[in-house]
Amino acid sequence: MISAPSTVDYNDSFGVNGVSGGRLGFNSLSIIPGYGIEFDGWQNIPWDFQQVAGGQQNPQGDPSPNHIALIEDSTGNHLAYANDTRVTDNNWHQVSIEVQESSVSVSVDQGLVLQWSGELNNTFDGFGFSGANGQVGSNWHIIDDFSITTHNLQKPSLTTSCISSISQSSLNVKINGYLTFIGAGISEAPILIFYSITGGKSWQDLTLVHTGSDGSYSALWFPSVTGDYMLKAVFEADENYLGTSNIINFSIVPCIDQNVFSITSNSTLPELSFNSDNKELSFSVSGDNGTTGYVNVYIPKSLINDISSLKVYLDNNQIQYTSQSQGDGWLLYFTYHHSTHSVTINLSSQRSTSTAQPSTLTLDWVKIAILVFMGIITAIVVVVAFVYLGRKKR
Q: Which helix (H) or strand (E) holds 181?
A: strand 170-181
Distance CA(71)–CA(321), nearest Å, equals 45
Instruction: Encode the chain (394 residues) as per-residue pLDDT tens digits.
Output: 334 444 445 454 444 444 444 567 676 556 677 899 999 888 888 877 776 666 677 778 889 989 999 988 888 888 999 999 998 888 999 999 988 878 899 999 988 899 898 888 877 777 777 776 656 556 777 888 888 877 677 889 999 998 887 765 678 899 999 999 999 999 999 999 999 999 888 999 999 999 999 999 999 999 988 899 999 999 987 878 888 999 999 998 888 777 888 899 999 998 888 888 888 999 999 999 999 999 999 998 888 888 988 999 999 999 999 999 988 889 999 999 999 999 999 988 555 444 334 433 444 554 555 555 555 544 444 444 444 444 444 3
For the whole model, what pTM was predicted? 0.55
Residues counted in the chain: 394
Q: What is the DSSP letter of 139?
A: P
